[in-house]
Amino acid sequence: MIRPYQHVALTVSDLDRSVQFYQDIFGFKPVQSMEVSGEEVSRALGLDGVNLRLKILMQGEYVLELFEYHSPEGSQKAPRPCDVGCMHIAFEVDDLQQAYRELSAQGVHFNTPPNRNPEGIGWTWWCYLRDPDGVPIELVQINP
C-alpha cells in the first residue's frame, strides 16, 4: 500500500539561504517556486492566515520542498533530536570519509567525525551535520 519515498518538506527561516545550502552541498536543483496563501491552504495546514513562499528542489528522483512562512510566525528555535516530532533527512554517500573531508573544507560543521556501526547494523558509517536552520542531516555509507 505504501509506495517508496515521495518527498521531504522542511520549514526554513530564509528560503534563499536554504536553497543555496542544499544546492551547493547536496546538488539539489530548484525546479519550481510559488507563493501560497488563503483560506483553503490555511484550513489544510490547520493554521490561521497562512502566507508562505516555497521552492521545490530535485536531485535525481529525490524531491525536497522548502517552505518559508511569512505568517503565521513560527518558532525560530532549532529542533533537537530528542524533541517530539523532530525528524532528520539521511543521504547515502559512496565514501563518507571523503564526503566528511570535502564538506568540512567547505565550512560544514559536523557533530562528530564519521562513526562506524557494528557489523550487520544497516549501514557501515554515519554522522550528523545541520542545515542553516539547525535541522539535523545524517550522512550514511552502506558498504565498508
C-alpha–C-alpha distance, residues 18 and 35, integer Å = 16
Is the full-model pTM beyond 0.85? yes
Q: What's the CATH number for 7-73?
A: 3.10.180.10
Domain ranges of the chain: 7-73, 88-144
Please write the tens of the pLDDT for every residue from 22-79. 999 999 999 999 999 999 999 999 999 999 999 999 998 899 999 999 999 988 887 7
The correct answer on CATH 3.40.50.2300 for the domain covering 88-144 is no
pLDDT at 22: 96
Helical residues (DSSP H) of the chain, grouped into ranges? 15-26, 39-45, 96-105
Sign of CA dihedral 139, 132, 14, 26: negative
